[in-house]
Chain A
Amino acid sequence: MKIHEYQAKQIFRELGIPVPEGKVAETPDQAVESARSLGTYPVAVKAQVHVGGRGKAGGVKLAKSAEEAGQHARAILGMSIKGITVKRVLVEAGVDIQREIYAGVIVDRERKAPVLILSAAGGVDIEEVAAADPEKILHLVLQPGLGLQAFQVRRACYFLELPKEAHRAMGETLHALERALFELDASLVEINPLVLTSRNEIIAADGKINLDDNALPLHPDLEGLRDENEEEPLEAEARRHALSYVKLDGKIGCLVNGAGLAMGTMDLVKHFGGELRCDRVAEGVLKARELTGIDVPIVMRLVGTNEDKARELLEGTDLIMLPTMAEAAQKAVELSHRSGD
């Protein structure tokens, strides 16, 4: 699950990572009000959406007065960024930027450990930096049972060529990043840019946190940070029923009892154009059909535990049960052609 910048910054604040003062506004008037209460200019007006590239889309603007902040908010609120309508802006005190750094911590599946990623080339897409100039990126593996060590902090500071006066603040921020990852059960905590000011302060000018969906039951407080406006409505609906549903383009739906098999089936459907208990699947599909009144043809390929029972259940209904994936995929394609677009 992703959360918004303003939510991430609230968490940063609690963990002791300095962030600019800011307020969330849902209307232009609120934005004017927020800018006034900050009492310092310029202020940044930033669209709160989960997708990246909001700056390029015109979702981040600087204002020199409260009125200008209101005008920017009017332009940004309601704007569509990669298909998501902006519902909120963060109005934030401007930051005195000396340098922009990238700092992030992720759970690295290959190393099976958290890795702190740092780069002096902050404020830009870190994946592009990684592809173009990999030597500009420092990876520090947080060894299991050890975590971030003092020598690693020193290495980070020297790698980033930070002035001596900023080392302590940087160390505190890196330790807080590590704490954030573990305390929230996050899969990614990222500050881009992490700003070095002319007074050698370290400030998080942006914030991104991705939470591990599997860990959400352990953190009921974090569930409240979910923004369903950002989710595919059908995926949100499915999640409420504890179903795993992935919305894709196309006109053939796949109902499959397993992620790998689902991907395999999907690939196969494209190519032409289990287990669980089969009787339970058949029963479920029959019931779902009865409850929802779905009238598209349903092709099922059922082999495995209790397949005979499933066949009995489906006998006399118009549900089509076929023994191989290839036949089922072909049948689905055939029926979809018959029904036209």
Chain B
Amino acid sequence: MSILVDKSTRLVVQGMTGNEGKFHTAQMIDYGTQVVAGVTPGRGGQTCLDRPVYDTMQEAVRETQPNACCVFVPARFAADAALEAIDAEIPLVIVITEGIPTLQMMKVYWEAQRRGVRVIGPNCPGVITPGEAKIGIMPGHIHMPGKVGVVSRSGTLTYEFVNELTRENFGQTTCIGIGGDPIVGTDFVDSLRLFNEDPATEAVVMIGEIGGAAEERAAEYVKREMVKPVVGFIAGRTAPPGKRMGHAGAIIAGGSGTAAEKISALEAAGIAVCERPGQVGEKLRQAGVRPLS
């Protein structure tokens, strides 16, 4: 078992014919993901990586019945692409693109809520269920099927934890990059809830960072409802206030959103907080999670 994506997921890629879109789609196909179509306006009727390309999502849905969509479209057009996927009633829309204006993402968020569509991202690495399917840009080979769910606001930092979980033989059920923007479609609480209900997930690693209060809300949820151990990490302990640290959402504003606040909220909820990725295995073992035999 896993969450969100698996072997049966049928993926359509928006922006598959672009440089990054094509490179990563090839990697996804290599990994075993069922990529059924691409959508690029103006490229309808062509094929790319042996897959049909359509001008519109509507045609792609009619011809190939996808149930997930991945957006690699450049920032200016990405919100529109996501809205097109929502309009085509794709239940899972994963937006990799970085740099979408916040007010545009706000529209996408509320439209997804209204239509009951799950949006992941933007500005995220995507979602992977090791051994089954990867949707996004994460390096497949560092993952390993296993028992720990991973949810993170960061991309590359997540790979560090995944690497550790693989090295220490815990493996992963599913890894979700929720994205580093101020407004994202799916947050920590949504992800934790999915992992909480997934029988294969024995524990969850959540990787947060400075800015906003998503980690604090996650801590409240963990305290209230989570029945599985959670190990946490917060990046940006040394970040100065008022500086945007690379991610649009990573900023300590008005003195709040600091790593210290987040770490104490997590600890108060019984979450073991790592100081560095290398400690994740030890923290999991201390929480009673055993590596795969």
Contacts and interface: CB of A to CB of B under 8 A. Distances in A.
Interface of A: 107, 109-110, 112-113, 127, 130, 144-145, 181-182, 185, 187, 212-215, 217-218, 244, 246, 248, 256-264, 266-268, 270-271, 274-276, 303-305, 324-326
A263 B248 contact: no
Contacts of B180: 259-260
B12 interface: no
A258 B103 contact: no
Interface stretch (B1-9, B37-45, B207-215, B285-293): B207-215
Given A145-B110, A246-B243, A110 B102 contact: no
A34 to B, nearest CB: 32
Given A263-B210, A266-B239, A304-B142, A275 B103 contact: no
Contacts of A110: 212-213
Dominant secondary structure of chain B at its interface with chain A: loop
Contact of A218 (B76, B160, B244, B275): B76
Given A260-B209, A267-B237, A304-B159, A144 B110 contact: yes
Interface stretch (B57-65, B148-156, B196-204, B219-227): B148-156
Question: What are the 4 closest A-B residue pairs judged by CB atoms, nearest first?
Answer: A260-B154, A259-B246, A258-B156, A215-B101
A259 B101 contact: no
Contacts of A246: 243-246
Q: How large is the interface on B (under 10, 10 to 19, 20 to 34, 35 or more residues)?
A: 35 or more
A109 B163 CA distance: 31
A305 B139 CA distance: 6
Contacts, number: 151
Contacts of B160: 261, 264, 325
B283 interface: no
B236 interface: yes
A98 to B, nearest CB: 29
A256 B247 CA distance: 13
Nearest to A323: B163
Nearest to B142: A304
Contacts of A276: 156
Nearest to B163: A303
A112 B104 CA distance: 11
B277 A325 contact: yes
B165 interface: no
B153 A260 contact: yes
